[in-house]
Structure 1
Amino acid sequence: MSRAYFWVATILAVYCWLIPVAWLLAPSVPLTSWGLEIEPVAAWFGLRASVGTAGFGIALFLVRREPPSRGRLAVSVAFIAAWLTWAAYGVYSVLTDAAGVGLLATVGVEIVAAAVLAWAEFGTRRRAERNAPSVDGLAHPGDR
């Protein structure tokens, strides 16, 4: 188990669980900070969409103790792809005046979350591969 991946996945899981709670308790906060009108449909849609984020949190929490594997990689790549897509859509929304510049703070969080998880996933994977014994017991180029 990688300590870096464990802590990154745990922190991101908790963050993912807090997002729907925030939408449930105070939907006007993100909407106003993003320069959007507070409408019941927007608040409802935000809460519904945030439940998917909670799902990412559950997946990250479940794989946080796993060694590098195809399953952990799949969860990490799905999280990274989704959050970078949300970030790209956020930038697009600001550029087309569909949302205010306040959305860029959320875009920053999405980019940082994806980057930190990528670092934890791919950095720990490389370290694990480097430290793994070779199958034939011989030293190979690149071994330390």
Structure 2
Amino acid sequence: MIKIAKNNLLPEDANLILNDVVPKHEFNIHMGTSIKNLQELAEALEIMDNDAFKHHVTKEKNDFSNWVKDIIEDVELSNDLLKAKTRKKAFETVSQRIEQLEKLKSGLVVKDKTNFFTDRFLIGLIFGLALGFVISAIINNLV
């Protein structure tokens, strides 16, 4: 299970999120259609009537958000779908996420370099301190 959070996505993760789910985990929409990936979810949200949407999204539940979290394993999209109270907003949310994932999958998204350099700096700092202690111990033993 990948349980992907917002800033930890790799191109491989994007590919997994966009792939088809196994048949037993397909989402069965109230109007009779089965959905096996995010693209099909977006297409269904675009054409379904509001009554079908309201069957899956109420004050008490959001079947789309639950499926995305539990089966697709995209926590960010799941959280965004919880905020989408209309069919149109849910469609836009899923479509934007697909676009973001496609860009990441193709390598067009630039990673946050601040985190990269901060991580490398901390690793270098720790390594430098450890090396300093080792050299200091060696010098003290020689003197």
After TM superposition, the score normalised by the length of structure 1 is 0.29
For the pair shown, which has the larger CA radius of gyration, 1 or 2? 2
After TM superposition, the score normalised by the length of structure 2 is 0.29
Higher helix share: 1
